[in-house]
Chain A
Amino acid sequence: MKNMTCIVCPKGCSLQIEEKESGFEVRGALCPRGERYALQEMTDPRRTLQTTIRTAIPGCRRAAVRTSKEVPLGEIFSYMDAIKGVILEEKKECGSVLARGLCGSDVDLILTERLY
């Protein structure tokens, strides 16, 4: 049996996962998202990644970004390295795609802040 804390929402349910012949059995989740999280976590743990990138915009040293979807937890530092190479050259709208296909995956890089 494995115990974990659900990270889907601030409630943070304590989950118990047991491997049965029929598959994983999840207990302790107050909603179906927790059960989905536990199953994902047992087979392929993933996280969204947020960081900042350099910019060439005067007066704006860093711009906040995130990945468009969750990335494998074990590869998070490879994604950090890939994102480090991206430089924001000019002002864009919050939500703009700044880079596509990070680390050869289908994950894009999204600008998450309004630039002034």
Chain B
Amino acid sequence: MKNVYDVIVIGAGPAGMASALTAREKGSSVLIIEREDRPGGILNQCIHDGFGLVKFNEKLTGPEYADRYVRWIDEAGIEILTSTFLLELIKDEDEFRMKLVSAEKGVFSLRGKAVVVSTGCRERSDRQIFIHGDRPAGIFTAGQAQAFINRMGYMPGRRAVILGSGDIGLIMARRLTLEGAEVEGVYEIQSRPSGLQRNISQCLNDFSIPLHLGRTVSRVIGKGRIEAVEVVSVDERMNPVKGTEAIVPCDCLILSVGLIPEIDILKDLPVVKDGKTGGIVTDDRMESPQVPGLFSCGNAHHVYDLVDYVSESGEIAGSAASEFAREAAI
């Protein structure tokens, strides 16, 4: 491993791997930093299919989509530092400096001419949507539940209520049902579902799981472990309608209430946050106008609904980062 690279990519998910491949193809020296023990990012737990339809005209599962890119990364000889966490990212004159930590190397530093931020996104949690009541165990975000079931083989519960009709929530409704749990219903505060129609069809309708539109969870009930939720209908202004409350017994509440780009690592750089997307402002080459040489792509830039477009954004960022590094060298 070297100490200085043309392009350092933060995150080995679909955006990061695509940007690294493109930067390498264009002749740059490239390193990928990954905090998990393997590349792939969130694809590793998305075992359902539907990935790659746009890009490869094939219906792949998440891990298969990831495997394809990992293979290309191997063939291109691109280094990935796994189980490595980025602690600090600063820009010092014409180069970026990183402080990192891993069990193997301890705290160490790296320098890069260009940096691609492909750190993905985070799920909104129960604390961010103001659910009242108790704070028992048994409340999960959909992605958490997905990791528990698909990676670790643990069931989050036997009788689930799902709040929010985002795609991961719909996918988890099906997944829980297939694994023998009962999904009481999916509650969506808006008057229309937020996930793709095909997921309403193949995840809910296939298994007769009810979708309650204009209805939300207003209270969590349970000491120690969740025992029930109170659900209520809302009016056009999203205010609860008195008299529509119902108590729904459950042993877990799964939240699929939105995703936010994860860009905390950029706190020491003068980037401008885009209030609408939660990512940073970039030009059409995915570069920050305030921090030349800093590129953002994938769900860290804004939340995409298809991985195929995440990979495409990575290619744009990787190509531009490579050009930036080459010009910086002259």
Contact = CB atoms under 8 A, between A and B. Distances in A.
A5 B197 contact: yes
Interface of B: 37-38, 40, 44, 47-50, 53-54, 59, 61, 63-64, 66-67, 70, 149-153, 178-179, 196-198, 200-202, 206, 305-306
Nearest to A11: B198
A75 to B, nearest CB: 13
A7 interface: yes
Given A5-B198, A94-B67, A61 B151 contact: yes
28 contacts: A5-B198, A7-B198, A7-B202, A9-B53, A10-B50, A10-B198, A10-B305, A10-B306, A12-B197, A12-B198, A47-B206, A48-B49, A48-B59, A50-B48, A52-B149, A52-B150, A54-B153, A64-B150, A66-B61, A73-B206, A95-B64, A112-B47, A112-B64, A113-B47, A113-B63, A113-B64, A114-B38, A114-B40
Contact of A114 (B59, B66, B150): B66
Interface string A62-104: 1010100000010011001000000000000011000000000
Nearest to B50: A10
Contact of A47 (B37, B54, B179, B202): B202
A77 to B, nearest CB: 8
Interface residues of A, number: 29
A26 interface: no
Nearest to A77: B178
Contacts of B197: 5, 12, 14
Given A10-B196, A12-B198, A66-B61, A116 B37 contact: yes
A48 B70 CA distance: 24
A62 B151 contact: yes
Given A12-B198, A47-B206, A61-B152, 7 more contacts: A10-B305, A48-B49, A52-B47, A114-B38, A114-B40, A114-B67, A116-B37
Going nearest first, the 10 A-B pairs with the smallest beta carbon separation are A113-B63, A12-B197, A64-B47, A5-B201, A7-B198, A12-B198, A5-B197, A114-B67, A94-B67, A112-B61
Contacts of B47: 50-52, 64, 66, 112-113
B150 A12 contact: no
Interface of A: 4-7, 9-10, 12, 14, 47-52, 54, 61-62, 64, 66, 73, 76-77, 80, 94-95, 112-114, 116
Contact of B63 (A7, A12, A48, A64): A64
Contact of B196 (A12, A54, A76): A12
Given A61-B152, A62-B152, A113 B198 contact: no
A94 B150 contact: no
A95 B153 CA distance: 21
Contacts of A50: 47-49, 61
B153 A61 contact: yes
B109 to A, nearest CB: 27
A41 to B, nearest CB: 10
Contacts of B48: 50
B83 to A, nearest CB: 11
Contacts of A116: 37-38
A52 B153 contact: yes
B49 A51 contact: no
A113 B61 CA distance: 9
A67 to B, nearest CB: 10
A112 B59 CA distance: 12
A5 B152 CA distance: 33
Contacts of A94: 63-64, 67
Contacts of A54: 153
A114 B37 CA distance: 13
A35 to B, nearest CB: 16
Contacts of B38: 114, 116
A102 to B, nearest CB: 15
